[in-house]
Structure 1
């Protein structure tokens, strides 16, 4: 199973950093279009930068409570493949975006087992779920997510596992993870500063994951 574990690196925005990460060929590369995030792409990211990313890497836009048309315009401008919705987006909005041919990831920040059922209305309108640590910043907190909460997940929907994953977690993900994710989403624990990734650390993490 773990031979096919996908890797998403989120919070990219600097050209040289993007080029260096592209050389490692992660499965997904994420760009945050949420102005309150310390990793907000702002004026750093240009369409030219995303066009240079290999087509085998799925370019992913992260949005929080943004209107559908604004999301679609951003996806068109930056030629994004995937939309990650990290706010209170409705199932209808997820469906509308998916109907435009975009892959949709719906993020959930779970505090307890009692909140697991909130995923049910999204079952048929998303390609993937993503589970992260609850935070007012809508992700990127660096705090560990309680993986054991997902042992009672009432769905077969493939999901991304996020929340404070760091280099040292690679072997745990392979040998001792209580759940079976489709992908892992790494971000703040691999940073030199917000929006600037430690490429060598990511390379070591990816090597460990992919050699299994």
Structure 2
């Protein structure tokens, strides 16, 4: 009984100190994959509204999926330099919870919608992470992703985590090439507020693998409570 109590206190301390990494599974294209992710313990689901992406989902389909979701799951809409009217339309149709901007959007642009947002930064060699993150003072978090020229995200590549500033002004969402083989190390070395995975839990582009999702989430739990 004492051991159980001690373990519970340790886990509670991790929760209250913000060490426990939350999980967003992105690139959801169907209800089956959404429910798989939720059943495995995902905190948030990402829907990609960027037509060139192999994980693109139409607003109509996303709205149908979201209507079937249980409560207490955050839904996130990903955009890349989208027209204002398009974003407004998606918000109205889907009633999405949170916006993720993955292009060259300015803070003023991101702030004009009726939803909280976070900003993705791609870790190019010349990026001043701290200075750029500070420009988005209204963001709920900053997502850091790998950089590949001409590709706004979903590269399946990681970046040098040593480049992440220790004094980042916003909660950190870590993305870029995360999968079952490196997520334990990512969480234990970086201690992000959340991690964002898409290709790392897929069986084919745009469809998730139950086995990969479950293994990934098991590794997250192992890192969170080790």
Contact 1:3–1:210 (CA<8 Å) still a contact in 2? Answer: no
Which residue of the partner structure matches residue 117 of structure 2?
104
Deviations 1:129-148 (A, max 9, x none): 10001132211110112211
- Normalising by the residue count of structure 1, what TM-score does the alignment of the two structures yield? 0.88
TM-superposition CA deviations, 1:40-86 (whole Å, max 9, x none): 11378242211111221111110000123321220221121010000
Per-residue deviation, residues 94-128 of structure 1 (Å, max 9, x unmatched): 2212xx2x221100001236532222211x22111
Mapped to 2, the partners of 1:128 and 1:3 lie a distance apart of 15
The alpha-carbon distance between structure 1 residues 91 and 27, as it changes in their structure 2 partners (threshold 3 A), is: same
Which of 9, 13, 23 aligns to 1:7? It is 23
SS in 1 for 2:75: strand
Structure 1, unpaired ranges of 5+ = none
Give how far 1:153 is off: 5.2
Whole-Å separation in 2 of the counterparts to 1:67 and 1:25: 33
* Cα pair distance change 1:170/1:145, threshold 3 Å: same
Which residue number corresponds to residue 162 of structure 2?
148
Which of 200, 209, 212 is equivalent to 2:220? 209
Distance 2:167 2:201 in 1: 31
Residues 5/148 of structure 1: CA separation in 2 closer, same or farther (3 Å cut): same
Q: RMSD over aligned Cα, in angstroms? A: 1.9
Separation of aligned partners in 2, 1:9 and 1:80: 15
Partners of 2:167 and 2:45 in 1: CA distance: 28
Asked if 2 retains the 8 angstrom alpha-carbon contact of 1:160 and 1:183, the reply is: yes
Does the alignment pair 1:84 with 2:100?
Answer: yes
Question: How many residues in Structure 1 have an aligned counterpart in Structure 2?
Answer: 205
Match of 1:65 in 2: 81
Q: Structure 2: state its 5+ residue gaps.
A: 1-13
Relative to the length of structure 2, the TM-score reads: 0.83
Which of 187, 190, 197 is residue 198 of structure 2 equivalent to?
Answer: 187
Q: Is the 8 A contact 1:112 1:149 kept in 2?
A: no
Matches within 5 A, 1:103-182: 103-112=116-125, 114-116=127-129, 117-122=131-136, 124-135=137-148, 136-150=150-164, 152=165, 154-175=167-188, 177=189, 179-182=190-193
